[in-house]
Structure 1
Amino acid sequence: MKVAVLDVGKTNVKAVIVDVAAGRELAARTKPNKVLTDGPYPHFDVDGIFGFFIESLRELHAEHGFEAISITAHGASGALLGEDDLALPVLDYEFRYPAEIEEAYDAMRPPFSETFSPRLPGGLNLGAQFHYQRRAFPEAFRQVRTIVTYPQYWGWRLTGVAATDVTSLGCHTDLWLPRVGMFSSLVERLGIAGKLAQVKKPADLLGHVTGEIARALGLNKPVPVYCGIHDSNASLLPHLLQREAPFAVVSTGTWVVLFAVGGDLDHLDPARDTLANVDALGRAVPSARFMGGREFEMLTGGQGKATAEAIERVVGEGIHLTPSAMPGCGPYPHAEHRIMNAQGSLNADETYVAASLYCAFMTKTCLDLTGASGPVVVEGPFTRNTLYIEALERATGRPVIAATGSTGTSVGAALLASNLSASQVAQADAFTTSTLPDEFQRYCTEWGRLARSLPDMSAL
């Protein structure tokens, strides 16, 4: 079965054809996800993205064909629909609100013990976005008829059917109670209880593409569109089908999101960006996150590689990058990022090595905070960084598996449209390379000591 997947990441958007039986991509089209700065606030270029999707699907259908469409998108986004179109633009979750709006929101949001949503910067709590839009644009907000979560916005554009899904509602929104599977009290406080679209599971059939869309894609008949899923949960889904708990999945991209299947839900720390996500089956999963892909790109500028000489200098001299390169999130949200023990500047390769080890240690911290145990499966771009994989395996002392080949989000989203058994899901590749020197364990211990000793900048 071939499934077209629309994959809306924070950094890039993709249209992908997945051969579900083989568990791999056949073809893909990609474009940057540009944030527009015109209008009332920074917002996503949804018309540009949708035009890209239509053009890409038309080309991919002509080349490969597909039998269904599935959708995956980043969290912390939703769409406010009016009668026929958006009532307000889809807000960029990195936008920061005035202090008085933040304070009012803090006073109304439910406690972490109910929602398992930590208080996050800007609009990373979807409820905070709706509060800002309601307060800042009351007239436009009154025109809202229906609210959909972000994967379902794209499904609505394809089918005309509105919905929300449990994985997007359960993604640190403040709007959902993961333990019991129902809306939180914030929904009533925001006055949106009657506007949120029907809640569905990701694998539910949303509808079929409209006749107009079918003609634009060159289809002989409308194809089914499945409800859709939060992108990190899409990475988790194949492993839920083929593994027994406990295990952990590390989904990498702009964000590094960790799912500790069989982990500790009762001792999560909201001050350290731990939370509960909701998986494709509607179950609460202990999770943690940091903005690892953004940090790695910012630190390295996309340059460098893990040479033996660079590893020898960084590990041998104890050169450390400390948290947090992106402040305000992750397990050390208020720590001041530093370069420690560097005598002289680092070249591109040395920076690459130090950044790779930093991301591995941040991932280990997240594993520890969620009570994760068992093997660790890494999905996404960091699978290509063998130094990161080896460092994570050495630091945790348990198997780390790089799910190379297809991106986890696309394959996981494609599974929503199929009834495949777990045995038909492509297996990940075991990691075997060894490049780190014997003194790496000392280096690892020293990084943990440095991270714990950094001052909390929020208290200064």
Structure 2
Amino acid sequence: MKEVTAVFDIGRTNKKFFLFDADFNEVYREYIRFEEITDEDGYPTEDLEGLEKWVKEVFDRMLDAPEFDIVSLNFSCYGASLVHIDENGKVLTPLYNYMKPMKEEVYDAFYEKYGPEHEFARVTGSPRSGMLNTGMQMYWLKITQPETFRKIKCSLHLPQYLSYLFTGVPASEHTSIGCHTILWNYEKNNYHEWVFQEEIDKVLPPIVATDKTIPKKYKDKIVQIGPGIHDSSSALLRYVQNTTDHFLLVSTGTWSIAINPFTQGMLTLEDIRNGSLFNMRIDGSPVKVSRLFLGNEYKLQVKALAAHFNVSEDYHKTVRFNQETFFEIDKYFEPMFKWISISGKNEPDKTKIPYDRFEHAYHQLMIELVLLQVESIKITAGDNQIEKLYIDGGFSDNDVYIKLLSHYLRNMELRTTNSSLGSALGAAIAISDTEFNSKFLKKIIF
């Protein structure tokens, strides 16, 4: 039997399960998607019960697989996700969607009490982002559903909740606590004062090290189970473990996260105005990032393009970069797409498509999206001299995206990585006791 590490890699769209051998080669994978359900307000949200059943079924089945010996298990999940449980372990609320709107009076009450807003964002590394700030989720729950809040025994970010399902031990973990949550004060390296004043700290379990595992017995096997990790921080881990060269990583998916692990000092007010924020490394140190809702916008726009040109919704996957098409569009370029889930400069009041071929319209769309991506990358890089740019996640397979990015960032050496493994591989590395060397990065990434 081959000894393997199992990882559940949970994105907003795709739920994935991987097995990695001792050399971090992928030896098994499976994917699933769930239809969203709705919360008490009718807003779409994660089917948490369906997710729970799937992870337990998959793990139980794979423990019986004759060719694999699962020795460890970890979890990588999207952020801005909280599960609240009572003293009996019962889930008290839906896993609220981070896009769910929040009433302005909630913001106003919070920042009147704990602002000013920009200074608060600077010390927490968390600009005002509604439900994307899980701390704001907890404040919102406390003032809008006080009876429910009083029943909370502990609140867990999604990676730690999935770990809890297998260990029964509730825990908090640095990368989930510190990534755009408004919970952490980066100047004091502790929870922000408001967390204690609102007694939020009483429902947050102790913080454990990201590499800490708990041994649990399943079917006569001892499995070392990790506490889980925030997906963007996980995607970064395999790079910072194995190179001292300055680089910038763009982790693409529903969100495109430009990550600069060589940040020095706190965010400036200019950084905050530009939409920058802090993620957290596994040692608790800050990482400057810039977010772009690229994958979500892309999904919405290609669906609309497919309907406009009467082609399959998967047709966009067949398009490859065409230099002549690019030069033709670039010569007289002007924005043509009205964004649905993001905002940009100089966008029209509504989408206008003068082309008679899908491929031309698609190149136009990608040029506009990549220009937004380039702006995000430059904001994250700041004054740092960064020569290497790594792209992982779903867009690393998109030929048009990569060729355009290479064109607009000709001063950087751009490299793509194995698109399916970004955060999953980091979660496996996080709980490994392997001694890494300088050859590791090339071996498992490129």
Match runs of 1:135-150 below 5 Å: 135-150=143-158
- Equivalent residue number for residue 310 of structure 2: none
- Equivalent residue number for residue 408 of structure 2: 395
- The alpha-carbon distance between structure 1 residues 249 and 166, as it changes in their structure 2 partners (threshold 3 A), is same
SS in 2 for 1:242: coil
1:340 CA displacement: 10
- Equivalent residue number for residue 21 of structure 2: 19
SS in 2 for 1:194: helix
1:369 CA displacement: 1.2
Deviations, residues 336-373 of structure 1 (Å, cap 9, x unaligned): 74399977246322232223323322222122212252
1:153 CA displacement: 0.6
- The alpha-carbon distance between structure 1 residues 271 and 352, as it changes in their structure 2 partners (threshold 3 A), is same
- Equivalent residue number for residue 357 of structure 1: 367
Verify: 1:230 aligned to 2:230, yes or no. yes
1:312 CA displacement: 4.3
Deviations, residues 288-310 of structure 1 (Å, cap 9, x unaligned): 11111111111212533135254
1:274 CA displacement: 0.6
Cα distance in structure 2, aligned partners of 1:66 and 1:315: 52
Cα distance in structure 1, aligned partners of 2:426 and 2:19: 12
Q: Count how many residue pairs are aligned between Structure 1 and Structure 2.
A: 416
Verify: 1:89 aligned to 2:94, yes or no. yes
Residue pair 1:179, 1:284 contacting (<8 A) in 2 also = no
Identify which of 399, 409, 425 aligns with 2:440: 425
- Equivalent residue number for residue 315 of structure 2: 303
- The alpha-carbon distance between structure 1 residues 234 and 164, as it changes in their structure 2 partners (threshold 3 A), is same
Deviates further, 51-60 or 196-205: 51-60
Deviations, residues 414-459 of structure 1 (Å, cap 9, x unaligned): 111212233363527999xxxxxxxxxxxxxxxxxxxxxxxxxxxx
- Equivalent residue number for residue 70 of structure 1: 74
Deviations, residues 32-72 of structure 1 (Å, cap 9, x unaligned): 24432143564422221011112222333315332100111
Residue pair 2:39, 2:96 contacting (<8 A) in 1 also = no
Cα distance in structure 1, aligned partners of 2:350 and 2:398: 23
SS in 2 for 1:298: helix
- The alpha-carbon distance between structure 1 residues 101 and 4, as it changes in their structure 2 partners (threshold 3 A), is same
Structure 1, unaligned runs of 5 or more = 432-460
Deviations, residues 193-225 of structure 1 (Å, cap 9, x unaligned): 2221111222122x234x5xx2xxxx3223111
SS in 1 for 2:241: helix
1:285 CA displacement: 1.0
Identify which of 366, 376, 381 aligns with 2:394: 381
1:243 CA displacement: 1.5
- Equivalent residue number for residue 448 of structure 1: none
**Which amino acid counterpart does residue 237 of structure 2 have in structure 1?**
L
**Superposition TM-score, scaled by structure 2 size:** 0.85
SS in 2 for 1:315: helix
Cα distance in structure 2, aligned partners of 1:79 and 1:430: 33
**Which amino acid counterpart does residue 125 of structure 2 have in structure 1?**
F
Cα distance in structure 2, aligned partners of 1:263 and 1:44: 33
**Which amino acid counterpart does residue 365 of structure 1 have in structure 2?**
E
**Which amino acid counterpart does residue 39 of structure 1 have in structure 2?**
E
Cα distance in structure 1, aligned partners of 2:145 and 2:328: 55
Match runs of 1:60-459 below 5 Å: 60-61=62-63, 62=65, 64-84=68-88, 85-109=90-114, 111-120=120-129, 122-205=130-213, 207-209=214-216, 214=218, 219-263=219-263, 265-267=266-268, 269-301=271-303, 302-304=314-316, 305-308=319-322, 310-320=325-335, 324-327=339-342, 332=344, 335=345, 337-338=347-348, 344-345=354-355, 347-370=357-380, 371=382, 372=384, 373-396=386-409, 397-404=411-418, 406-423=420-437, 425-427=440-442
**Which amino acid counterpart does residue 46 of structure 1 have in structure 2?**
L
Residue pair 1:167, 1:280 contacting (<8 A) in 2 also = yes
Cα distance in structure 2, aligned partners of 1:339 and 1:297: 20
SS in 2 for 1:86: coil
- The alpha-carbon distance between structure 1 residues 348 and 57, as it changes in their structure 2 partners (threshold 3 A), is farther
1:319 CA displacement: 4.7
Deviates further, 28-37 or 249-258: 28-37
SS in 1 for 2:391: strand
- The alpha-carbon distance between structure 1 residues 57 and 239, as it changes in their structure 2 partners (threshold 3 A), is same
- The alpha-carbon distance between structure 1 residues 142 and 353, as it changes in their structure 2 partners (threshold 3 A), is same
SS in 2 for 1:59: helix
1:74 CA displacement: 0.6
Give the share of equivalent positions with the same residue, in percent. Answer: 23
Cα-Cα RMSD? 2.6
**Superposition TM-score, scaled by structure 1 size:** 0.83
Deviations, residues 133-168 of structure 1 (Å, cap 9, x unaligned): 112211111011112222101111111001111111
Deviates further, 383-392 or 226-235: 383-392
Deviates further, 402-411 or 304-313: 304-313
1:401 CA displacement: 0.7
- Equivalent residue number for residue 441 of structure 1: none
Cα distance in structure 1, aligned partners of 2:371 and 2:435: 35
- The alpha-carbon distance between structure 1 residues 77 and 327, as it changes in their structure 2 partners (threshold 3 A), is same
1:253 CA displacement: 0.7
Cα distance in structure 1, aligned partners of 2:81 and 2:367: 31
- Equivalent residue number for residue 442 of structure 1: none
- The alpha-carbon distance between structure 1 residues 34 and 375, as it changes in their structure 2 partners (threshold 3 A), is same
Deviates further, 101-110 or 161-170: 101-110
